[in-house]
Structure 1
Amino acid sequence: MTVTPMGRAVTVLGADRLELRELPAVEPGPGEAVVDVVYGGICGSDLHYWQRGEVGESVLVDPMVLGHEVVGTVREAAADGSGPPAGTPVAVHPADTCGRCEACLAGRANLCPALRYLGSAARRPHTDGGFADRLLVPGHRLVPVPGGLDLRTAALAEPASVAAHALARAEALTGGVRGRDVLVTGAGPIGLLVVALASIAGARSVTVTDLHDRPLRTAERVGATRVVEAGEDLPAADVAFESSGAAQALAAALRAVRPGGALVQVGQLPGAGVTAPFHLAVGRELVLSGSSRFAGGMGETLATIAAHRDLVEPVVTAEYPADRVQDAMTAARDPAESSKVLLRFAG
């Protein structure tokens, strides 16, 4: 069952072509709820579709509603009881998977070959996203927001789940971050959330490197014990999370990881032309892993955000009403000035 946007919807038509379109209301089926969207977080993929009309191999062919980081309030509950009741603040799970393949049955639904993600042009017809006034959503894809957690901070549920999955990869491969020295390259929203979650998980130290001063100052607010400008010498680390997607950062992280350590690649690297000192992985017996989106639900991540709200909320640096989407996108594409930028809908 798909997610259907209704009302005003942020629609990308191609490179540098963005419109706020009015979409018709649709009657919900038995397993569908209606959600009033309150916030949508702008992700790097939204920016790529807006700026270039593509994200990696996913090329925009038809108009598509953007957005996969969405929170709001249930207006009409699913008639079959499959979701939370009306009035419940919720996060919308962005992934639709088959539930039957080997990956899904192994708890790795993020690798499902039938995966559809909100606001993605990976398949055709494209999968519309959630940047709209209202959404028709399968009830089982609604995750209640813990009591006392404001929706502005809860809007970090999806990127925080991505960060949590990266930490889970480190846990599976090398025992995790507790009591260890951690390096995070790239202090964008995902990198900052990795910093916060690593700090919460008991890392001995968390060093962060970035090109810009403002995100480094934000990193200190969310748990970094040391910040380093990109290009300077990095301290040795047991576990590194490369979240910038830059080949230079990957090379620096590989050089910083101690023998027997691990590197988790979270940022999306270019499809060609990446060179890095991978020979170090042999002599140092490094464990290297990618980390793609996240597996499972978002309930545990929302509970963590609620328990550590003061540590996490500095990641959100601005919000704009939906009718100022161009301003919001312009702000979000400037990493020197912004971390997570939110669009605010009528809610």
Structure 2
Amino acid sequence: MLNCEIHGARDLRVTEAPTEPLAAHQVRVGIRAVGICGSDLHYYLHGRVGDFVIRAPLTPGHEASGQVLELGAQVQGLRVGQRVALNPSRNCGLCRFCRAGAANHCDNVHFFGSASKWPHMQGAMREQVLIDAAQCIPVPDALSYEMAAFGEPLAVALHAVNEAGPLLGQRVMVVGAGPIGALVLMAAHLAGARESIAVDIVDQPLAACARVGATQTINVARDAAALEALTEGKGQVDVCFEVSGSYAALAHCIRATRPRGTVVQVGSLHGSSEGCPLNQIMVKSLRYVGTFRFVDEYAWAVDYLSRGVLDVSPLLTQALPVEQVHAAFALAADRQQAMKVMVTF
């Protein structure tokens, strides 16, 4: 089978790998679409994501969908030929976090396409995967493989909104208008937000956010005054989501959020915190929330996509065949051109 491997910074190879034997509880899935996520880009561009360094060839990809090719002897409830979205997270169900309902912090998690453990956890950017039956969520034939592959990033957004608390009637701001930021906006509207503001430094993602329902967009690099207006009177926003991984973005959130409002950190912060008014978290009695991956929200995400509750199609920039995987990664890295780019098999 064809298999994409990242060997180091800008060293992505398409190889041929042997197929693996199927265990009784597993399903063999033919991958049809895989989204390129920010972490995949970091592995490709830098050979690492934060402290997680590639030490052996890593197959990326955790946003995936496909078709059931073969069922293990003990598998029930699925059929060969069925379309499925793939939950990339396999939790142990036994550790203290799983037992407490926080499986996103499982001590023994296996998560597609991550170098956070040794041996590395291989991802879905390959022709076939073996996966536990419980990780396969059936989707209707009418849902394209590309739309089904949005299940994972939408689950991240739904979890972030779920952790934010009640949003009914709230004014929401998202700083960082990439795919996750846009999906957070959509999830916030689904949760009842009355107004949503998208903030970024690039016009293209802001335009995409407008297409999926943002009531206001601000390019802070060009119109700092518009963002400054939201800081008046100790802050004009009820709930802010930091989705860029930037301390500058976090600073915007803290300044714009009203006293006793909520700031949700979705992005993985990097760089220097100098200039970020962290003390205002105390001064304004802000509720500061971190959010990581998802728990039950993956099933919710796939259900919403399957029933057409949310239309994420405006966020898909292009789907390229695996033979053009280098072009796909190059396009995904260009924020002036791309929101979500996928690789197809």
Verify same fold: TM over 0.5. yes
Q: Quote the Cα distance in structure 2 between the aligned partners of 1:243 and 1:152.
A: 23
- CA distance in structure 1 between the partners assigned to 2:308 and 2:277 by the alignment: 37
- CA–CA distance in 1 between the matches of 2:75 and 2:240? 43
Q: Distance in 2 between matches of 1:274 and 1:308?
A: 41
Q: Which runs of 4+ in 1 moved over 6 A?
A: none
Q: Which residue pairs with 1:75 in the alignment? A: 69
Classify the secondary structure of the residue corresponding to 1:86.
coil
Partner of 2:186: 196
**Residues 159 and 297 in structure 2, CA contact (< 8 A), matched pair in contact too:** no
CA contact (8 A) 1:83 1:140 kept: no
1:181 partner amino acid: R
Among 210, 213, 231, the alignment partner of 1:220 is 210
Distance (whole Å) between structure 1 residues aligned to residue 310 and residue 282 of structure 2: 41
Greater displacement, 195-204 / 34-43:
195-204
Distance 2:127 2:291 in 1: 31
* 1:123 counterpart residue number: 117
Q: Distance in 1 between matches of 2:297 and 2:158?
A: 11
**Are 2:210 and 1:211 equivalent residues in the alignment?**
no
CA shift, 1:147, in A, is 5.4
* Counterpart for residue 141 of structure 1: 135
- 1:237 maps to 237
**CA, structure 1 residues 187+74, in 2 after alignment: closer, same or farther (shift >3 Å)?**
same
Residues 18 and 83 of structure 1, relative CA distance in 2, 3 Å threshold: farther
- Deviation track 1:211-230 (CA, whole Å, cap 9, x = no partner) reads 11111111011110000112
Q: 1:35 aligns with which of 29, 33, 58?
A: 29
Distance 1:223 1:303 in 2: 20
With over 3 angstroms needed to count, the CA separation of the structure-2 counterparts of 1:146 and 1:102, relative to structure 1, is: farther
For 1:30 and 1:92, the matched residues in 2 are separated by: 18
Aligned residue in 1 for 2:290: 290
Could you tell me the TM-score, scaled by structure 2's length?
0.93
Query: Where does 1:1-347 land on structure 2 (aligned, <5 Å)?
Result: 7-82=1-76, 84-146=78-140, 148-171=142-165, 176-231=166-221, 232=224, 233-234=226-227, 235=230, 236-270=236-270, 273-275=272-274, 276-296=276-296, 298-308=298-308, 311-345=311-345
AA aligned opposite 1:152: E
**Contact 2:71–2:79 (CA<8 Å) still a contact in 1?**
yes
Return the alpha-carbon distance in structure 2 between the equivalents of residues 195 and 81 of structure 1.
37
Tell me the amino acid that sits aligned with residue 331 of structure 1. L
CA distance in 1, matches of 2:220, 2:307: 32
1:44 partner amino acid: G
One-letter amino acid of the counterpart of residue 249, structure 1: A
**Paired-residue identity, %:** 37
Aligned residues: 334
Higher alpha-carbon deviation: 79-88 or 58-67: 79-88
Contact 1:110 1:294 (C-alpha < 8 Å) held by counterparts: yes
